[in-house]
Structure 1
Amino acid sequence: MRASDAIETELADALARHGLGFARMAPDGTLLARAGAALDWLPEIGGDCLATPLLFGMADELAALRAGARDVVALPSIGLDSGEKISVTISWDEAQEVYSIAAARAFGASETETMLVRERRERRLADEQAEAARRRAHISDALYRDIVESSADLVLRIAADGRISFANTHAQAFCGRGLDAIVGARLDDALRPLDGVGWQALARRANEETFEQKIAAADGRTAWILWRVTWLGAAEGPPEFQAVGRDITRLRELQAEVARAQAQAREALVMRERLTIAHDLHDTIVHALVAVVAQLRLVRKLADRAPDRVPEELARAEDAASAGLARGREALGQVRFQRAGDEGLAVALHRAAGRFRERTGLFLDVEIDENATGVQGELAERLYRIAEEALRNVERHAQASRVRLAAGVFGDDVSIEIADDGRGFEADAAHPGHYGLAGMAEQAQMIGGQFVVQTSPGQGARIVIRAPLVHQES
């Protein structure tokens, strides 16, 4: 094998290992040269690059680039058929009158960490021959400069004493200095870091390290740069580092926005929990106290008119107070349990059905479709509370022998049905013991749902709650 062929092979391997690719294209779109797996989507040498899916229809942009109207054409985070994402940058080489196409594997903060772990593991397993090949890949300085000048990242070469020996065009623009002014400058003088984190890698001469750094850019803004620093050693020249920096300022801003949104969501959750507890106490203790007050007023009237009925009415008042106290304790106890919105509607309804059987000993037929499992959040919480209150009403008033609980998702709505074969009642009549019906109807309205009661004396009762899934929280 000729020396030039060996160099080209080693260079192609290095480009593939680092997820890079470089190609040259004639003004008419003909592919002249290609290296690196990141550009395998281009045609064979001599083929028409503009016929590929990624470059199709870009003749005007390339013409503007050639005319000097644009510096580069950047295609960030393009998805390939393989599922991999790459960033492509195209520039015009005026001296050679060809287009330079550079590609690099797209990466974010989390993917970078994964990539670094993989590369460190590969380095530990690599032998001396692989290490020598990686270093020899840098002897082709002309091709290296073409690649880094086409990159949208900041690329620096740093001598062992911490002085800059090379900076690509983007790094020069970021620092606000030309190449002559930046070469020989110390890192801190050129980059103006706003924190002291990062460049310890130069002292350790670690094979590769990644860190984030806060820097004052030349345009006056504060930028966050994700650096990847590699020790190149001295195999083919003076020992130095290569630092590749990506501007992740927008990513950091998005992360801060997400953190703020999460804090607001937690605060809203606390407020919602407080409102839920207040609503539960209103539906239990307040209603019970109203019933007790009504009974006591009746007792006061009967004390003179029908004293023989006083013990009976006092007993009813005591029962109402005891029932309200029990329901209040249960409502407070529910706070300790997992919310239905977290565990899902199906699980919560099965749990409510189990408790109903334990309390009453009644036969309860449960039919809950699997598609109800995905109903969660505020919608699941409201529906669960309505269903639980309906089962409580059956327990207290229906005198039933069989009860049915069904739930499922039908189209864009979720539906729950509770039916019993008990004594029923007049649906339109006022029933002091059935104050929970109004509360259930209010709960259904809060989620844009419908609450329907079908009953008549001696014919049992059927309650149907139907609500749109659009009210479900993500």
Structure 2
Amino acid sequence: MKKFSSIRYTFIQSHFYALFLNIIIVLSTLLMIYVIYEPNWLTVKAIFLFVTSFILVSLCVSIYAGIRYSSAIKERLDGISILIKQLAHGNYDSRIELLTNNELGRIGGELNELGQKLQSQVKSLQRMADEKSEYAKSAHKAAVIEERQRLARDLHDAVSQQLFALTMMAQATQRLFDQHPAAAKEHLAEMTTMALQAQTEMRALLMHLRPVQLSGEPLSVGVQHLVDELQQKCSIRFRVHIDYEKGLPEGTEDHLFRIIQEALSNVLRHAEAEEVSIVLQKKAHEVFLHIGDNGKGFTVDHQKKASYGLKTMKERTEELGGNFAIHSKQGKGTHLDIRIPT
């Protein structure tokens, strides 16, 4: 049914409607002649043959005319639709060729102007990101103090409490060891789990002690160093594909690096994943970043509201004029896709 609602079939239907009106007019005219003059040549058979021939010829003409005159409009509408999709996906340098001066031509021209304005806005956003990066460097000392305070809170709220609970359980296990060996064994298993959780939390917090900026390194080198460091400290398998050379402003690369840091930190702290894939590619008009894991996953709508890390990554992406998308299901892992126009 969707096919019959297209612009081409709408044109054909309009021609059929015109055909129907013409048939009514022809029949009315023949009837009037027959009533007034009653000519010998105007018989029922003659009327039937004439009307049938008229309908057959007009049907063919209507179908041809509908297809012929709708093709140009359909082509223009398809071009406009493709341009809108390109703009929606961040390809702001896409343009449509203007061939006519009618309404469709004006719409195409306005969409070209919209794409040009969006492209200018993206450049302005990236320029602001560069300026913001410079301001961040000048305020580095204040950021270090704030980061230390945040880490102190996280250590107190997470690792410190886990270590305290671990100490209490160790003391209780020591008292139970001789009298209740089975209970002591269960406590030891719980202690092992808690120690692993504390270790994972500490590794995630240590990631945030890395420099806020790349310190002059290209983004691809900084990402590879970060992955190599994590590979040595945890049992997660990393699959990394980097097809990118330095070609973005420094502020944009800093934002992307911080997004990757935050994403890997979330994987360490929450995902319980065994494998993580990282893809960083420089395409024709965009930089594509994908981070996926095979962990326990979560409900996206609920977690977006509660997670500070996801909110921060989304804000950093939008500051660069990019698109942020996250897909996750319980037991199906989490996949993060980011596209930054260049």
Q: Classify the TM-score, shorter chain.
A: 0.3 to 0.5
TM-score scaled by structure 2? 0.43
Q: Which has the higher contact order (CA 8 A, sep 6+)?
A: 2
Larger Rg: 1
TM-score scaled by structure 1? 0.32
Q: Whose helix fraction is larger, Structure 1's or Structure 2's?
A: 2
